[in-house]
Every structure is written in C-alpha cells, then in structure tokens.
Structure 1
Amino acid sequence: MTRQEATHTHRVPLNRDRVLRAAVALADATGIEALSMRRLAQELDVVPMALYKHVANKEELLDGMVDTVVGEIDPPTAGPDWQRVVRERILSARRALLRHPWAARVIESRTGPTPAVLSYLDSMAASFRDGGLSADLTHHVMHAMGSRLLGFSQELFNTSGSSGPPGPELAARYPRIAELAATAAHDGGSMVSGGCDDQFEFEFALDLLLDGFENLRRRGWTSARKA
C-alpha cells in the first residue's frame, strides 16, 4: 500500500456534523472574522469544493454553527417551579455562549431563527405555559426577554473599551454617571459579545424579569384593553 493510499484509508469521512464542529472549533480558536470556507477546508484537509456537498455557502455554514452551539444547551428539567426551570435553562444557554464568544454576534446577524433556535424557543414557550402563564402573557414574556432567552443581552452602550471611573472633567460634567461608575464592579472575563454584561448583571435582570412575570401570572394579567 502506498503512503497516499494509507492516508486515504485512515481519513475520517466528511459529513455535515464534522464540518460544523470543525467550523465552531476554528471560530473559537481564531475568531469568527478569520473563518472562511478555504480556511475551514485546510483544517479538514480537503479541497474547498468538498465542503459544498454539506453546506451550500458561508451563510448556511453560519446557520449550522448557531444550531451546533444551541445544541449544547441543557434540556429543560422537570419540576413545578417554572421560574427555576426557565432560569436554569437560560443560564445553561449563557454558559454555551461563553464557551463560544462569537456566537451571540452571529445569532444577531441571522435574518431568521435557525431550526435549533426555533426548537429551543418553542421549548421555552412550553416551560412558560406549563408554569401557568397564559398564551397571551407568554407571547409578551418572550418579547420582553428577547435575546436573554439565549443567554445574552444588548447593552445601551458599548463599554468594552476603557474601564474605570471617568476623569475629573467628565465627572464634574456628569456626576451621577461618575457615581455609578465608581460603584460598579464588572468581571470583564465573563462578558458575552462585549459590553457591560457580566454574570451578576445578567442574573440580576433575569431574576427581576422572572419575578415580574410571576406577579403578572398571579394577577391574571391580560393584554386585552379595558373598555
């Protein structure tokens, strides 16, 4: 057997799952900006055209990568406490995105939800409904949660640049902002997609929302306009 034949014999067959997992690993290692079909083909030791048998183009590759990451989210646990069930699932989603820092930006760039995202959102809606929230309230809850359902949030400003309190001139002009900056403590290593979005801030807002939703459920809230 020639050396070329031996290499061919031991080569792992290419399939869609292998392509997507390799793409996720490459994006983790080099950043999403460095990902290309050619670079991915090099990683897999195939010609670029071989990839197109499994993903039609770069956009389909990105969709599949999103689905791969979402597939890492833990399934919902059983139990009567819907807030605990939802909270645990969302924090599992957050852990998945922290493992893949590029994923939040790619999710936001999609023109529509991918199949795995749709399945995840459907199961989250089921958790709210199983917890006693009406379909009407669940509809508005899903809107209110937005990207938090997937473990990340958009911040008002991008604070991923310089950190620390503002200088004396800015502090004098904006004293309340300076006051808040002086009291804030953020863990830059826990950010998802940049910005002031550390774990404490995320869980703080998540718990406020979940408590508010439960309060509305108990009140029998409806969006129907009162006459």
Structure 2
Amino acid sequence: MLVWERPEPPNRPAPAPLSRERIVRAAIQLADAEGLDAVSLRRVAAALDVRPMRLYGYIASKEELLDLMVDAAHAEIRPSGDGWREVLRSLAEATRRAVHEHEWLADLLGGRPQLGPGALASGESVVAALGEVDVDDVMPVVSAVNAYVIGAVRREIAERRAERASGMDERRWQASLGPYLERAFATGRFPALATVVRDAAHLDADQTFRIGLDLLLDGIGARLAR
C-alpha cells in the first residue's frame, strides 16, 4: 500500500508524540538547514527525540520520506489566476519560489510524476484552468512549463552552490574570466558570441526567468491558436 493510503499507527502514550506530519516537518527542517545529504531516519529521529525504530511505524524507508517531503513542498505550490496563461505563469513562479525556499527540492523534481495528495491538488488546479485547451494538448503544455521551470531552477541553484563553494558571486566569477574571453574573442573565431557578450543586456536571474517563461507561453499560445 502506498504511503499516502497507509494508515498511521494508532495514538498511544509515549514520551514524544509522533505523526507523519511531524516526521516530514523535521526532515524538511534538516534539509533546509544542511542539505539533502543530512536527511536520514536516524537524524530525523534524533531531532524528534525518539528512537529510529519508531519511525518505521509511519514510513517504510528513506525513499518514502523523500516522497513525503516533496509532496509537502507541492502543497506550498498553489497556482491561481484566470485562464490558462495566468495559471501556468502562477505555476511556474510558485514552483520557483518553493525551490528557492527549499534548495534540496531542485534535486528531487523531475522524473516520474509526483502523485501525493499535495501534488494532485496542485495539478488539479492547473488542469482545471486548461478547460479551454484540447484534452490531447493539456499534458504536453503542462509538461513543457514544468520542464522549463525545472531546468531554470536547477541552473539557479547550481549557481548558488557554486558561489558558496568558490566564494565568488556571479559578477566576480565573470570578471575573473574576462581576460580569457577577450583573448578568445580576439581570435575572430566566435563573432556571434562576442557580439552577444559585449552588446546584449546582462539580465539578472529574475529577468532571465520571466523572459524565458514569456517566450514559452507565447509559443504555447500560438500553438493553441492554431
């Protein structure tokens, strides 16, 4: 039986009360503070002041715990708006906010769909707003937006982690590579790249995300209009 449907153990007197919700909350706090590698059943049990074996009455494995953590994050993603474009934009921006709040989520998004109650509720609100879209186009449209968001936020989180590891923010990193790029462009072998690097507007992460999302939604709109 899937963890979403499996009953929790009955309440019983104990020094420390326990529930799946408390377990998941403790695991998320650990992951937020120390990263996903810090999450183990032993560490979560210690944070809750219980023995690790007590957790097995509520979850069968670390994999189930990770599924519950992701679903709890999905519960924070509440798309809203009128019409497909507003709702898809809301989905993208809410997912991005959730990943920025829970950096570890970037490592767990993608792959097979999340089917916990939080993810299903979020998906229902999105699909319901796409009622005007042909049923055969619904999942490709939603998948395209999710793929864009996952790719964008993984790049942003990778940049954040690189900054922590190197001690250099993006501007300082770019400045350190400046002389090398100038030498490479001076060869004349990369004229298109040289033009973009020298002449194009240098956008921050928020601007880059929103412009890319606009381009994607424009393309979806053109497809639906046909």
- Scaled by the length of structure 2, the TM-score of the pair is 0.72
Question: 1:131-142 residue pairs with structure 2 within 5 A?
Answer: 132-142=132-142
Matched position secondary structure for 1:21: helix
One-letter code aligned to 1:72 = E
Matched position secondary structure for 1:107: coil
Structure 1: tracts of 5 or more residues without a match: 1-8, 188-197, 220-227
Q: Distance in 1 between matches of 2:15 and 2:197?
A: 55
Question: 1:3-152 residue pairs with structure 2 within 5 A?
Answer: 12-77=16-81, 79=82, 81-108=83-110, 111-115=112-116, 116-129=118-131, 132-148=132-148, 151-152=149-150
User: Which whole-Å deviations, capped at 9, do the CAs of 1:82-134 have from their partners, x for residues lacking one?
Assistant: 312321232122211110011021223x65523233443343222222xx111
Q: 2:214 aligns with which of 203, 207, 220?
A: 207
Does residue 218 (structure 1) correspond to residue 220 (structure 2)? The answer is: no
1:193 match: none
RMSD: 2.9
Change (3 A) 1:181 1:17: farther
Q: Distance in 1 between matches of 2:153 and 2:106?
A: 13
One-letter code aligned to 2:115 = T
Does residue 169 (structure 1) correspond to residue 183 (structure 2)? The answer is: yes
Matched position secondary structure for 1:152: helix
Over 6 Å off, 4+ runs = 155-159
One-letter code aligned to 1:48 = P
1:224 match: none
Change (3 A) 1:178 1:142: same
- Scaled by the length of structure 1, the TM-score of the pair is 0.72
The offset of 1:65, in angstroms, is 0.3
Q: Distance in 2 between matches of 1:143 and 1:35?
A: 29
1:3 match: none
Q: Distance in 1 between matches of 2:52 and 2:184?
A: 53
The offset of 1:19, in angstroms, is 0.3
Structure 2: tracts of 5 or more residues without a match: 1-12, 163-169
Mapped contact 2:79–2:88 kept (Cα < 8 A)? no
Q: Percent identity?
A: 34
Change (3 A) 1:10 1:212: same
Mapped contact 1:83–1:210 kept (Cα < 8 A)? yes
Mapped contact 2:133–2:224 kept (Cα < 8 A)? yes
Equivalences, count: 194
2:4 match: none
Q: Distance in 1 between matches of 2:92 and 2:193?
A: 30
User: Which whole-Å deviations, capped at 9, do the CAs of 1:12-60 have from their partners, x for residues lacking one?
Assistant: 5110001001100110001111211111111111111111111111000
Mapped contact 1:74–1:89 kept (Cα < 8 A)? yes
- Normalized per residue, which structure has more helix? 2
